[in-house]
Structure formats: C-alpha cells, structure tokens
Homo-oligomer: A and B are copies of this chain.
C-alpha cells in the first residue's frame, strides 16, 4: 500500500514551526508495519493544495493530510478536498452539536466562524476528535483514500492512533494485531546494537518480527514490532525474542517502552524509601533537572549542589579545603560523596565531578569524569574519559551519572565500559 503524507500550513512551509508531525506519523506507521512513500509540504494556498491533493490522488493508495481544519479563513482543507473530489460541502449536524457542547462545558461561547469546522465534503466519513473542535474526516479522491487530520500535535496523535491506523491496517490486509516493544539502552552505539541483535528477527516465524533503531545521543532506542493473528499469538511470538534481546543487550538496557532512565532510577529509590543527594560540576544542574521535578521526586530528592570550582563543593558541604587540591582521585571523589551524604542525611549520594581538558572547544576536546555513589556503608567510584567537545562530554556525563546510579540500585556492575569512553 502506497501511503503519502501532505503537511499543510504557512507556518510549517516557512519553517516558522518545526514540523514534528511528519516524523511522528511516519514513525507510528512504521511501528505497525506500514511505510510512507512520499511526503509533501505546502502552504495555505488554494492552487498548491489542489495540486498536491490531485498528485497524491493519482499515485497513492492512502493519503494523510495534516492541518488546515481550523476556524479561520486560511484553513482550507475541507474546501479544497471537496473541490478535488468534485463534491459540495455540507453541514455535519452531529459535529456542530459536539462543538457547541465543547464550548458550553468550558463556559465559553462558540464563535460563528467555528461553524466552518463542521462543514464536510458530501460523502465523507467523520473521524472523531475527542479533545478539540477540528474533527477529522476520510473520503475518496481519485483512487486514494484521504484522511484529514488536525495540525495540533496532541489531537493528531490521538486521531492517528485511534481512528486512522486501524483503518489503514484494515485496508492493507495486514493482520490487525500488532505489538510494539521498545528497549532503551545507554552505553552502546547504534551499530553495536544492530550487530548484537543480528538474527533475532529470524526467531519469529514468517517475518512477523521486525527490528528498528533510533539514536538520540547518548541513548539508542530499539523497536521490536511483532505481527500476529491476535494478542495471544503475538505474546507467543514475542516471548522468545524478548528473552533473547534481554540476554544480548544485557545490562545496557536502561528502560523499556515509555519508561525513562531517570524514571527507573526514581522508582527504584522510592520503592525502598531511599533518598538522594547529588553533587555535579560541568553537567551544571542537568542531572538534577532530569530527576528532581518528576512527580514523586519531592519525597526522594534531598538536595543537589552545582559548582564549577571544586573548593566551592568543600564550602557547600563543610569539608576541609585541603582535600581537593591538586586534581581528583578516587579518595577525594569519595570524600565529597560522603560529605554530601552526611550533610543531607540522604540514604544515597551521587557525585559527577568533571575535569575538562584545557583549551578551546573542539571536536576532540576531552573530559575526565569521576562518578561516585555512596551509601552509609559503601562507596563505588568509576573514572571515565569522554572525547568529543564540551556539549558531547556534558550530555554524555549526565547519562553516565544516571546510569551508574541505576546499575548500583539494580545490583549490576557499575564499572562496565560504554562505547563512548576512551582510555
């Protein structure tokens, strides 16, 4: 099935807003085994919209159009859709009533121009939008089925998932039962993960399993899509692959599905009634910023200290000045961590202390990272080197610190080397 996406709107065409809807739709479709073949971006322009609809109607089987369903005069999708199909617009009474109650519930009066949003091409099928005033609709233009969707991302996402994906799967003749399982790793590159998982797809029969990867430094997301006749069939196919993937990626899996590394760390601390103190230098508050605002963190996160000069840590923790002179080592890193533990009375302390190499920022600038975790009767320190410039080091060290803590809390080796580290 040939699927096209048409993104509309001057703000998207001019780059005034970054078009994240296109990639989102494309990924969501790929996750259920459907491929997008062509993407078009046009502005709020009658001629361009009509041309785009006609071209897509000729060459595609299904087309998703995003945007142009709003109440203002530059929202043209319904009008041009009707023109392309050679039909009239007609008021959809059902949607008008829905819109009116939408406004009533919010104690607002519906403006007369919202009525336009209930004008749909004759013969089109309404696609519900439970969270906005722009309903979607589906209709045939030429040989293609068109799906019209709102530009507001959260409205699009819900409509795509609940209304459009099931219709596309039904049209494509694919088995409609599909499951997407996601594994997030830290410490491996995309090519490492790809290589480690070679042959895993073949553990499921008939090509019903597909692997995909997405890198966002320093994490890699591995996506496993399983197709089957029903949920039970999928579960049966998934089990051996899931077990194998866990063996192969092992300790590098930091979180699964919608979970995050920081969420996993926080949950683990909360589960045991633990509390956390944090000391960071060049990561400059970024580690705290990942954790401390999360719901529930107020009961776990005790205190974070951010400094750029090591003597300032001593002062903040009430440690003797002398202990940090002349560069870092394991003893000093542990003294700082124990100091943080003592001052905050937290059960756990994490310190990420960075010695940035001298000189201007450049591709091969390096940093030495001292990561320490301490509890009242234990302390582990890991020394790491990352090369790649200031931002690369900073972002890498944030993840490294959080991952060391995850490993410690999960009883996994804190010292296991990541591919980002040098000597």
Please give the residue numbers on chain A whose beta carbons come within 8 Å of chain B beta carbons, in ascending order.
Answer: 7, 12-20, 22-27, 30, 35-43, 45, 48, 55, 212-214, 278, 282-289, 291-293, 295, 297-298, 301-309, 312, 315-316, 343-344, 361, 390, 394
CB of A170 to closest CB in B, whole Å: 22
A41: contacting residue among B38, B295, B303, B304, CB under 8 A: B38
Summarize A's interface: helix, strand, loop or mixed: mixed
Residues of B within 8 A of A297 (CB): 284, 308
CB of A76 to closest CB in B, whole Å: 16
A303: contacting residue among B7, B22, B315, CB under 8 A: B315
Are A295 and B361 in contact (CB-based, < 8 A)?
A: yes
When A285-B289, A293-B283, A297-B308 are in contact, do A15 and B19 touch as well, CB less than 8 Å? no
Are B295 and A284 in contact (CB-based, < 8 A)?
A: no
**When chains A and B are docked, how far (Å) is the Cα of A312 from the Cα of B344?**
7
Q: Could you jot down 13 A-B contacts, CB within 8 Å?
A: A12-B23, A13-B26, A13-B36, A15-B24, A37-B42, A39-B40, A40-B41, A278-B306, A288-B288, A293-B394, A295-B361, A298-B308, A312-B344
Residues of B within 8 A of A213 (CB): 16
Nearest first, the 4 A-B pairs at minimum CB distance are A285-B288, A15-B23, A39-B41, A285-B285
CB of A175 to closest CB in B, whole Å: 21
Are A304 and B303 in contact (CB-based, < 8 A)?
A: no
